[in-house]
Amino acid sequence: MEDAAVSKMFYSIKEVASTLGEAETTLRYWEGEFQDVISPRRNERGVRFYSEKDINDVRLLKYLIRDCGLTFEGVRKRLKNNKESALKQAKAIRHLRHIRAELKALQEALDEAEKIRNRQEPESSTRYLSPL
């Protein structure tokens, strides 16, 4: 969400789920399991609105659950013992993944440019050889 050109104050659960690649039901479930970590605002109808802090907290949970493979109890212990370290680690991993995606895109562009260059070169350089 922080990558958006225009930053919003709050995001719907659908926007957050889509951005993080999780189902809306998963976010609701995590919210119930980790009420002390995730607490999005709700309007009078109960519709959730996530702030940037809420989204970062969900990202942290996703990192600990999906990437580190921790159980919910393991996540609770990790957050109780050292939440700041877990936040820094999750942020670093997210940045590294972004860098890897950019590098892959660059590699693909270079590969495509190489293909185009190879198509433009003469088929055989034997025309240019001088007799011995």
Q: What is the pLDDT of residues 43-56, one digit of tens each?
A: 999 999 999 999 99
**Quick one: pLDDT at residue 82?**
77
**Quick one: pLDDT at residue 79?**
86
- CA 113, chain centre distance (Å): 28
Which single residue is written with the structure tokens 């011995």? Answer: 132
Residues in the chain: 132
- pTM of the full predicted structure? 0.64
Reported as a pLDDT band with limits 50, 70 and 90, residue 122 is: low
Please, what is the end-to-end C-alpha distance for the chain in angstroms? 67
